[in-house]
Amino acid sequence: NGKHITLGIESSCDETAIGIVADGREVLANVISSQIDIHTAFGGVVPEIASRRHLENINGVLSQALEEAQITINEVDLVGVTYGPGLVGALLVGVAAAKAISFAKDIPLVAVNHMHGHIAANYVEYPELEPPFMGLVVSGGHTNIVFVKDYNQCETLGETRDDAAGEAFDKVARVIGLGYPGGPKVDRAAKEGDPHAIEFKRVYLEPGSYDFSFSGLKTAALNHINSCRQAGKEINVADMAASFQEAVVEVIVNKAISAAREFGQNRIVMAGGVASNSRLREMIREEGEKYGIQVMQPRPLYCTDNGVMIACSAYYKMKKGEFAGPDLDAIPGLEF
């Protein structure tokens, strides 16, 4: 029908996902096969199990995506794939599938940085959005404030020096007995708690720094639990969840707003799994309003890992002429 069709493959962690978009931003299919149930038994993602599962799932996910888009593989014009960062064995499954499709169907291949993919979810959710803008990428492995100058160009202004925001959520969730995956569970528990019950320290690092440090929070949570036990007091999980969440969210919001103001940007674009946190979404909107900063936040479905964001990012890389060849390899430690 004359539209450009991009297929995006994502397998960097525990979701096998394929998205299909028309002309970069129109979603035709979004199929996500989550492995959360399997990994929950182990309290976290087990890399070997993840890659095996991707391998078992990928063909089925592809068939389902094509069916959802009501197209055949012959109608696909471009294939994009996450090549890093992520678990090497998991990434390789997606990369191999993408190369096979590209070779068999003689269509170009684009390698997508998973983090750029997260940002691209916003192009799908906000059809008018174009760079430049301030990006806030908060996921299981990253906490980055990035100045997105163009579709293929972004500069990291700050990042975590230890744990990522999502990692902090997951660790504290384990400590307070909420289990895996921690983020959504803490989010839910916090709704019943008092965010000022426990004063967790807000770590801002040096003045003017956009870096983060969240590793102290797990220890602080453990210390609080121990002191409750020693005093014979009951541990209030909801209060702990709410107080911990408030501390993390407050620092993220203040730094993101400062960065937007310093760089003269009136838009903050959120991305990554932690961007679906309800308190973060609320506080950053409220603070943004005070300074005339518009906050873009994709629906939770597009914050966590998906193939649509990879397809969208691939489309814009293609527009910039950035293609990959048959020698494409997974890069687990790929930088932003």
183 touches, from ligand KG4, Zn ion, none (C-beta below 5 to 8 Å by class) = ligand KG4
CB of residue 77 vs ligand KG4: minimum separation in angstroms? 27
CB of residue 79 vs ligand KG4: minimum separation in angstroms? 21
Ligand-binding annotation for 137, yes or no, is: yes
Ligand-binding annotation for 277, yes or no, is: yes
Nearest alpha carbon to residue 137 among 11, 291, 265, 304: 304
Contacts of Zn ion in 280-309 (CB under 5 A): 305
As a residue count, the chain comes to 336
Q: Taking each helix axis as running N to C, give the angle between helix 215-230 and helix 237-262, from 0 to 180 degrees, rounded to the nearest 10.
A: 150
In sequence order, the 6+-apart residues with CB closer than 8 A to the CB of 241 are 172, 173, 176, 178, 185, 186, 189, 190, 193
- Strand runs (DSSP E) across the chain, as ranges? 5-10, 15-22, 26-34, 78-84, 109-113, 133-138, 143-150, 153-158, 267-271, 294-296
* Cβ-based nearer residue to ligand KG4, 5 or 252: 252
CB of residue 139 vs ligand KG4: minimum separation in angstroms? 3
Ligand-binding annotation for 208, yes or no, is: no
CB of residue 296 vs ligand KG4: minimum separation in angstroms? 16
List, as one string, the DSSP characters of 100-120.
HHHHHHT--EEEEEHHHHHHH
276 contacts Zn ion (rule: CB under 5 A): no
187 touches, from ligand KG4, Zn ion, none (C-beta below 5 to 8 Å by class) = ligand KG4
Helix (H, G, I), strand (E, B) or coil at 324: strand
182 touches, from ligand KG4, Zn ion, none (C-beta below 5 to 8 Å by class) = ligand KG4
**181 cis-preceded (ω within 30 degrees of 0):** yes
Under 8 Å between Cβ of 4 and 315? yes
170 touches, from ligand KG4, Zn ion, none (C-beta below 5 to 8 Å by class) = ligand KG4
CB of residue 112 vs ligand KG4: minimum separation in angstroms? 13
Ligand-binding annotation for 31, yes or no, is: no
Ligand-binding annotation for 187, yes or no, is: yes
Binding track, positions 130-169, relative to Zn ion; x by CB under 5 A: ---------x------------------------------
204-226 as b/e: b if 16+ CB within 10 A: beeeeebbbbbebbbebbeebee
- C-alpha distance across the termini of the chain, in Å: 36
**Spatial distance between the Cα atoms of 115 and 131, rounded to a whole number of angstroms:** 16
* Cβ-based nearer residue to ligand KG4, 4 or 281: 281
* Cβ-based nearer residue to ligand KG4, 27 or 138: 138
In sequence order, the 6+-apart residues with CB closer than 8 A to the CB of 135 are 119, 144, 145, 146, 147, 148, 154, 268, 269, 270, 271
- Residue 231: Cβ within 10 Å count: 8
166 touches, from ligand KG4, Zn ion, none (C-beta below 5 to 8 Å by class) = ligand KG4
Ligand-binding annotation for 150, yes or no, is: no
Which residues lie near ligand KG4 (CB under 6 A)? 13, 139-141, 166, 169-170, 181-184, 187, 272-274, 276-277, 304-305
Binding-site residue set: 114, 118, 137-141, 170, 183, 187, 277, 305
Binding-site residue set for Fe cation: 114, 118, 305
Binding residues (CB under 5 A) for Zn ion: these are 139, 305
Binding-site residue set for substrate: 137-141, 170, 183, 187, 277
